[in-house]
Amino acid sequence: MTTYDFIASNKRKTVLLIFIFSALILLLGWLVDRAYDGGGFFLGFAGVYSVISSLVSYYAGDKVALATSGAKPVTKQQLPNLVNTVENLCITAGMPMPKVYAIIDPAINAFATGRDPQHASIAVTTGAMEKLQQNELEGVIAHELSHVRNYDIRVMTLVIVLVGIVSVIANMFFRFSLRGRRRRGGGGELVLIGIVLMIFAPIVAQLIKLAVSRKREFLADASGALLTRYPDGLANALRKIAAESLPMAGASTATAHLFFANPFSGRAWSSLFSTHPPIEQRIAALEKMGGLV
């Protein structure tokens, strides 16, 4: 499968994910309506809220991610090696030059954001710039540029937003359940079904998010290695991250899926619901690519 096939696949998955999550959200809104005689209010609220949230995240999610992480824009005069590295890899990949940001943090990490290659940004920590050799830094940046080129960020942004919407509606259901359960005489079976769905819908949505995110990381590793033609550079960067296990000071669960490596490294509980596959598995996959590039 070529890079163009992956891009086309991601675009198709974007449409499919929107359809699946939208159907789930509307189903939950309908169940709340039926259970508590909402008269269409909850169904309408679920539909409008999902559309507005998706649009806001689609067009402004990158700005929120950059601000949350404390990323600052940089120029070629300020950080020539970083900007030149991004520029050279973009030329090789045949993609537009993204805006370049730096994050003052000793951890080795980076992330890319933006809805498409024409509206993308890449942020790299000072720890990555200081601790990685040039071929390792190139591997990390190539990985992030691959996320942009493969439209991974668009897919994950929509997944994150829709998972959040499912959680909001679930929370709303339980609040009304506590306040209004005794107001309705019948429909006990429907209420029970609704409660079961409200409990498991957020869990299923979260599992979908984790599965999609981890698969995208493996794809970006492979695409990045093909871009630099040197899988060992990316693998060595991952080894350094595993060795230092240093969490980022400004890490947020809202943006953790964007980063090159889990920004909560070093916190035992974080690996249970990590959006990233284990570093050992990523290194093993890159080692298998060694003779293919």
Tokens describing residue 71? 């990323």
DSSP string, the chain: --HHHHHHHHHHHHHHHHHHHHHHHHHHHHHHHHHHT-TTHHHHHHHHHHHHHHHHHHHHHHHHHHHHHT-EE--TTTSHHHHHHHHHHHHHHT-PPPEEEEE--SS--EEEEESSGGGEEEEEEHHHHHHS-HHHHHHHHHHHHHHHHTTHHHHHHHHHHHHHHHHHHHHHHHHHHHHHGGG--S-HHHHHHHHHHHHHHHHHHHHHHHHHHHHHHHHHHHHHHHHHT-HHHHHHHHHHHHHH----TT--TTTGGGBSS-TTTT-GGGGGG-SS--HHHHHHHHHHHTTT-
Out of 87, 130, 138, 144, pick the active-site residue. 144
- Catalytic residue flag (residue 138): no
The dihedrals phi and psi of 118, each to the nearest 5 degrees, come to: -80, -15
Residues annotated as catalytic are 144
